[in-house]
């Protein structure tokens, strides 16, 4: 519980530039960009990893993620920084990543942006309360031991994001 | 000159997982994700800013960038972290951001990923030397006093990136 004390209900903070007071319970607690996910076509993962290695990235993790995701994932880190590049290669046609590639005219490309939070459950509740449309019915297991959920790109009716957002809690960094 | 001493030619570092020795002169010196750029349709910038404010972001900069870019840009920060969201609204049909929206079926969406470096000139030379196709003929002025250049999404013939990458040097952070 000590990791979420700053989210206690009832406190309020200075709103952003809207000037509105908002409860900390309404704020998901985003810390930084956990990773930017990039779809790559089947058979192209190793070549893409090499191209990022030319830029100075190194592969720190590889995993086949089954379930809803159906992808081969390579995580690339630069220096010892917190921001990762996540290359996603679909394992089969039912992978959502294959659908991203199909929608992109058969090319790979930027798939989603993931933000790190301390507590995925808190973030989930805060975003549901403030009207975001969440794809997952609850935070669920992600790769490398994380807890994650996805936010619908057409979230927020009055101003559709147009961007697939993932929220990530990483127990390793607590 | 003191900011680039670690890039002196002739030193070599352990290669990533390829095991190949590489000169530091060949490595662009990427530090972290400077920003993730998101295209928004004309007239939708303020609504998008509000949606990100709901997530806890705050607007720290707004600028009309003319020249090649032709965009209205809003920069959003979360906490005091280094990773920014850059919302880009095209000023007119000749803006490359409008072309991104057109290619995306008239919707906004992820436009590019920008990496921060200490020295854009060094990064430019390193990436040209290692075979990346660079869109700008030289590092040029970006928004908020930065020096930037763009890397072509079809860079690296043997493994096309598929992603538009920007390299950013920010004199404010030196």
Q: Each residue of A65-93: pLDDT tens digit?
A: 998 889 999 999 998 888 999 999 999 99
| Chain A partners within 8 Å of B158 (Cβ) | 47, 51
Q: Which of residues 131-170 of A touch B (CB under 8 A)?
A: 131-132, 153, 155-156, 158-163
Q: How far apart are the first and last CA of chain B?
A: 12
As given in the structure block, the two tokens for residue B18 are 């390829």
Touching check for A78 and chain B: CB below 8 Å?
yes
- To the nearest whole angstrom, how far is the Cα of B124 from the nearest Cα of chain A? 11
B127 touches chain A (CB under 8 A): yes
- CA A67 to chain B, closest CA, distance in angstroms equals 26
Q: Say which residue the tokens 């996603």 belong to.
A: A88
| pLDDT surpasses 70 at A55 | yes
Task: Say yes or no to pLDDT of A157 above 70.
Answer: no
Hey, are the CB atoms on B18 and A57 less than 8 Å from each other? no
Alpha-helical segments (H) within B34-164 = 45-54, 96-103, 120-129
10 Å CB burial of residue A8 (0-12, 13-18, 19+) is: exposed
- pLDDT by residue for chain B (174 residues), tens only, comes to 333 333 333 333 333 334 345 678 889 999 999 999 999 999 999 999 999 998 999 999 999 999 888 999 999 999 888 899 999 999 999 999 999 899 888 888 999 999 999 999 999 999 999 889 999 999 999 988 999 999 998 877 666 678 999 999 998 775
pLDDT in tens, B2-48: 333 333 333 333 333 343 456 788 899 999 999 999 999 999 999 99
**Chain A neighbors of B18, CB-CB under 8 A:** 50, 53
Give the pLDDT confidence score for residue A17 in this predicted structure: 35
What pLDDT is recorded for position A25? 83
Largest pairwise CA distance in chain B: 52
Confidence of residue A6 (pLDDT cuts 50, 70, 90): very low
Which residues of B are less than 8 Å from A44 in CB distance? 159
Of residues A54, A130, A131, nearest to B130 (C-beta): A54
Contacts of B29 in chain A (CB under 8 A): 56
In this predicted structure, the answer to whether residue A9 has a pLDDT above a threshold of 60 is no
Residue A148 has a pLDDT of 97
Q: Smallest CA–CA separation between B137 and chain A, in Å?
A: 19
Chain A CA closest to residue B22 = A54
């Amino acid at each position: 519980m000590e990791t979420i004390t700053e989210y206690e209900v009832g406190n309020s903070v200075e709103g952003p530039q809207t000037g509105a007071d908002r409860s900390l319970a309404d704020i998901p607690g985003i810390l930084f960009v956990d990773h930017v996910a990039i779809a790559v076509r089947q058979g192209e993962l190793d070549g893409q990893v090499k191209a990022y290695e030319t830029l100075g990235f190194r592969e720190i993790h590889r995993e086949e993620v089954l379930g809803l995701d159906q992808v081969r994932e390579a995580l690339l880190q630069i220096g010892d920084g917190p921001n990762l590049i996540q290359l996603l290669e679909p394992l089969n046609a039912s992978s959502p990543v294959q659908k991203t590639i199909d929608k992109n005219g058969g090319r790979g490309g930027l798939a989603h942006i993931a933000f790190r939070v301390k507590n995925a459950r808190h973030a989930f509740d805060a975003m549901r309360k403030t009207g975001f449309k969440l794809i997952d019915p609850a935070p669920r297991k992600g790769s490398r031991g994380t807890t994650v959920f996805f936010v619908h790109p057409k979230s927020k009716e009055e101003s559709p994001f147009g961007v697939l957002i993932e929220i990530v809690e990483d127990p390793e960094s607590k």
